Amino acid sequence: MAVYREALTQNELMTINQNEQEIIYEFEKYTGLAQQEYDDQTAPGKDTDICQAWLENRCERGDLCQYRHSRSKSLIVCKHWLRGLCKKGIECEFVHRFELDKMPECFFFSRYGECTNDECMYRHVVADSRRMECPFYARGFCKHGPRCRYKHVQKVACANYLGGFCPKGPACRFGHAKFEIDLQQVLHEAERFGDRSVSWR
């Protein structure tokens, strides 16, 4: 059974609109506090370790900046903020910026290899990632093979590098095999095959 209501008159609409303007919503007290705290913290001599350029959304130094890019001194990310539910706003004692690489390592994950907390705010570092990369495998071959105590990182070979030149150089995300060439052996083989164009200079 549908219930229909007749249309509101112009006077009824005006009364509702006036009543609505008099309502003070719960979140409005936080917006005023946020502006006041922003004004207080950006005043000269206040909390100088916060990056003033970051407060104005114009810091170009990013992670290289020597000042904090957060009002919070805590390293823990606010779990309510992650879900969009933090009501404290600027007054929150936790960080409202998620940077996993700056989080402390999870004790349980590092100790037992697993963490049962679904809302864990700490880094879960796999033990294999702590091992140093094998310099011999990075050059192309490691005589220890799978028994090597260092990490063997497999990368897809860079087609540009294999072709002779990669414009991205060391910043390339593909593998650049670093073969050490024995110049004595190259010269010896060149002489053996009669190629006199190969020289030290």
* Among 48, 102, 52, residue whose Cα is nearest residue 77: 102
The predicted structure's pLDDT at residue 162: 82
> Which residues, 6 or more positions from 46, have their beta carbon under 8 angstroms from its beta carbon?
40
Contact yes or no for 140/125 (Cβ under 8 A): no
The predicted structure's pLDDT at residue 188: 64
CA Rg value for the chain = 31
CATH H-level, domain 99-127: superfamily:
Zinc finger, CCCH-type (4.10.1000.10)
For 50, list phi and psi in degrees, rounded to 5.
-85, 135
Strand-pairing partners, residue 123, are 105
Give the DSSP per-residue string, 48-90. Answer: TTB-HHHHTT----GGG-SSBSSS----SBPHHHHTT--SSGG
The predicted structure's pLDDT at residue 14: 66
Digit-by-digit pLDDT tens for the chain (201 residues) are: 555 556 667 677 666 656 565 666 555 555 555 455 445 444 444 444 677 777 777 777 776 777 766 655 565 677 777 678 888 877 787 777 766 655 667 888 877 778 888 878 777 877 655 667 777 777 777 888 878 877 777 777 788 888 888 888 878 878 777 665 455 655 665 565 444 444 444
The predicted structure's pLDDT at residue 112: 78
H or E segment and range at residue 183: helix 183-192
Angle at Cα 198 formed by Cα 193 and Cα 140, nearest 5°?
90
Domain span(s) for CATH 4.10.1000.10 in the chain = 99-127
